[in-house]
Structure 1
Amino acid sequence: MKRLIALALMGISTLAAADEVHVAQAQPVVEHYTYATDLDVAKVISVTPTADVCEVVPAQMIYEDHQGQRHILEYRIMGNGCSNG
């Protein structure tokens, strides 16, 4: 009976480890935008909201290219916290 429980626990831990590897492989690397970056955007998944500060801040866009590959693009944007008064 102890062997059966040990085998069951080993099987569960192996499945959990395999799932962690799959999740780690599925997360794309963050690419940093430059003016020379050649973008292939077929579908925008999400864009981070712009911060309410008066300075340049980083932002990210997650998108899919025409081959269905998911990308994370980090770029710099001016915050929304500036007033003209």
Structure 2
Amino acid sequence: MNTKAIYAACLFAALNICTLSARAEADVTPMSYSYGSHLDIKKVLSLKQDSAPSCGVVNAQLTYLDSQSKTQVLDYRKLADNCNSDN
């Protein structure tokens, strides 16, 4: 079999897997974190945050799998990453 055909088939399969997971993520309704919320996190899939030019509080989003391997999305607020060097 032609190696180019094999590479093309592998690339096509990988792209299909990525689009399926993106579509599954889009169907999940985010919940907002409140102090004391019980979080059932088995595996973290992604962490996102709003960009901030300086140190301050930003909106962030955590996408994760729970113990039943269902995708969950959590909205929360945190200090921006560029605050790490400030005390």
Where does 1:35-54 land on structure 2 (aligned, <5 Å)? 35-49=35-49, 51-52=51-52, 53-54=54-55
* Separation (CA, whole Å) in 1 of partners of 2:81 and 2:66: 29
Letter in 1 for 2:40: D
More off after superposition, 52-61 vs 39-48: 52-61
> Any stretches of 5+ residues in structure 2 without a counterpart?
1-22
Is contact 1:51-1:80 (8 Å) kept?
A: no
* Separation (CA, whole Å) in 1 of partners of 2:35 and 2:68: 23
The normalised TM-score by structure 2 is 0.58
| Superposition misfits of 4+ residues, deviation over 4 angstroms | none
Structure 1 residue 80 displacement after superposition:
3.1
* CA-atom RMSD in angstroms: 2.4
* Separation (CA, whole Å) in 2 of partners of 1:81 and 1:43: 25
* Separation (CA, whole Å) in 1 of partners of 2:81 and 2:50: 7
> Which structure has the greater CA radius of gyration?
1
* Separation (CA, whole Å) in 1 of partners of 2:39 and 2:82: 29
Percent of pairs with identical residues? 36
Q: 2:15 corresponds to which residue?
A: none
Q: 1:78 corresponds to which residue?
A: 79
* Separation (CA, whole Å) in 1 of partners of 2:49 and 2:58: 11
Q: Deviations along 1:18-73, whole A, 9 cap, x unmatched? A: xxxxx58x611111011121000001000015634321010001001011111010
* Separation (CA, whole Å) in 1 of partners of 2:69 and 2:57: 31
Q: 2:59 corresponds to which residue?
A: 58
Structure 1 residue 74 displacement after superposition:
0.7
